[in-house]
Amino acid sequence: METNFRCEECDRDFNSEESLAMHNSDKHPKQEKFKVSKKTIFLIIGILAVVAAGYFFMYGGSLTGNATNMNNLPNEVIDNNIQKITLGFTDNYSPDTIKVKSGVPVEITLDSSVRGCFRSFNIKDLGVSYRSSSPSDTIKFTPNKKGSFRFQCSMAMGTGTIIVE
């Protein structure tokens, strides 16, 4: 009996084209091209929506920053026995290191460049935790212990150091 049909995948002979076709469909199914289901598309769109919402929450909807360069400003201004500090934000709080005097009240203002979660300002070791809703809000506290303390936003993505002397 002579065979005319050979499977190239497994080097096997078949006596009819139908037998070869059945063999190939069972043993060597064709790989379908990458197919994306509607469920996968909706999942990807959902993930992108969550990422975009997170970005707008953190940056207040601004796609381009309008932060002021605060690096050349003094760390403190003492006015009527109050140490007034204004923080801005570029890639981090600016200035990211501030110095204050122990026992003297401090007022920190977050300017309009500070957006989203970065407006939730915390100095855990000094018991400071405040959500500033606008640049007219001030974060008021009196540092009573000396040292170097970390300040950060609520998600610890923006950080800095306050040095109490």
pLDDT tens, the chain, 165 aa long: 565 788 888 888 888 888 888 888 888 777 655 667 888 888 888 888 888 777 655 554 433 333 333 333 345 556 568 899 999 998 899 999 999 999 999 999 999 999 888 999 999 999 999 998 888 889 999 999 999 999 999 888 999 999 999
Predicted confidence at residue 110, as pLDDT, reads 93
Predicted confidence at residue 163, as pLDDT, reads 94
Structural domain contains residue 64: no
Predicted confidence at residue 135, as pLDDT, reads 87
Structural domain contains residue 123: yes
Structural domain contains residue 68: no
8 Å CB contact between 130 and 121: yes
Predicted confidence at residue 43, as pLDDT, reads 87
| Alpha helical stretches, state H, the chain | 17-27, 38-59
Domain span at residue 28?
5-59
34 and 106 part of one domain? no
Predicted confidence at residue 81, as pLDDT, reads 85
Nearest-angstrom CA–CA distance, 59 and 141: 26
Q: Which residue has the tokens 């009527």?
A: 80
Give the H or E element holding residue 106.
Answer: strand 106-110
145 and 82 part of one domain? yes
Which residue type occupies 148? S
Nearest-angstrom CA–CA distance, 61 and 115: 9
Nearest-angstrom CA–CA distance, 15 and 7: 11
Beta bridge partners of 106: 83, 141
Domain count, the chain: 2
160 and 81 part of one domain? yes
83 and 141 part of one domain? yes
CA Rg value for the chain: 32
99 and 154 part of one domain? yes
Predicted confidence at residue 107, as pLDDT, reads 93
